[in-house]
Amino acid sequence: MKKIEIVKNIVLEAGKIVKEGFYAKKKVTHKSLVDLVTDYDVKTENFILDALAKEFPEYTLVGEESHHGTYHHDKVIYIDPIDGTTNFVHGIPHLAISIGVWDHGTPRMAVVYNPILDELFWAVAREGAFKNGSRLSVSTQVKLQQSLIATGFPYVKVDRGLEYHWVIQSLTDLLPNIRDIRRLGAAALDLCYLAEGKTDGFYEIDLKPWDVAAGILILLEAEGRVSNSSGKIFDFDDKGLVASNGKIHAQLLKYLRPI
């Protein structure tokens, strides 16, 4: 079986656990004041780690709920068992399992799955990006003023520090110059919706590799663009991520300060 089919099957199986949890009573605990984790995040991650370890023994597995140490490895699979945990806890069906396979700093394979809506996004490097079998491509929008832009807010906003001020400044500068803003609550899906052409741009700070490792490849394979907040090649160590359909990228960067 092709490797991508193996990853898709693992994600579809894991989706059953997440879907069961969505409708069930869950044990919710706090990682910080507003950052939540549930027993289903942990259960789903454990299932995925076991399954991937059998099929991809040569890879280091970096899962949100269990990783420690560096994010950087030559062959690495980044796993977010539930991206959009806040939505999951509040009964909002916008969340996904995200798995991104990277070799030597380059994305190779990606799967993002929303088990509640049964939407499966996937990509293989140089083979395109797909949603449930249909090929994806970014929007054709060229005007920032007519663009729908997604964003997210880092959990550390509660500290009212640098990150909070950057978020507010960005909104102040950008909002009058775009059609509207969306804060949907799952960064992996923000990148997939951009790949699909539903939105035209996306930016956020403080994202972790498991939030974006899969979505980046899906977007790139749909002919989109990703950079850091200075317009340079995005690295997992960068604080800011800016993504777009490519056509509005320079206009979007103009209203976001380098961080």
* Contacting positions for ligand IPD (CB under 6 A): 80, 83-86, 152-154, 185-187, 204, 207, 211
**Residue 200 in contact with Ca ion, rule: CB under 5 A:** no
The smaller minimum CB distance to Ca ion, of residues 47 and 177, is found at 47
Amino acid (1-letter code) at residue 98:
S
Of Ca ion, ligand IPD, none, which one sits near residue 152, judging by CB under 5 to 8 A according to partner kind? ligand IPD
Tokens for 108? Answer: 């190779």
The smaller minimum CB distance to ligand IPD, of residues 44 and 244, is found at 44
Question: The tokens 């949890």 sit on which residue?
Answer: 21
**Residue 190 in contact with Ca ion, rule: CB under 5 A:** no
CB-based contacts of 50, cutoff 8 Å, min separation 6: none
CB-based contacts of 115, cutoff 8 Å, min separation 6: 15, 16, 18, 19, 22, 97
The smaller minimum CB distance to ligand IPD, of residues 162 and 250, is found at 162
Window contacting Ca ion (CB under 5 A); options: 47-55, 76-84, 114-122, 236-244: 76-84
CB contact at 8 A, 239 and 205: yes
Q: Is 135 exposed, middle or buried (0-12, 13-18, 19+ CB in 10 A)?
A: exposed
**Residue 45 in contact with Ca ion, rule: CB under 5 A:** no
> Closest distance between Ca ion and the C-beta of residue 224, in Å?
19
x/- track of binding to Ca ion for residues 205-234 (CB under 5 A): ------x-----------------------
203 φ/ψ angles, rounded to the nearest 5 degrees = -145, 150
CB contact at 8 A, 30 and 132: no
Tokens for 118? Answer: 């049964």
The smaller minimum CB distance to Ca ion, of residues 99 and 248, is found at 99
Contacts to Ca ion from residues 79-98, by CB under 5 A: 80, 82-83
The Cα 46–Cα 179 span in angstroms is 41
Of Ca ion, ligand IPD, none, which one sits near residue 45, judging by CB under 5 to 8 A according to partner kind? none
* Residues contributing to the site for Ca ion (CB under 5 A): 64, 80, 82-83, 211
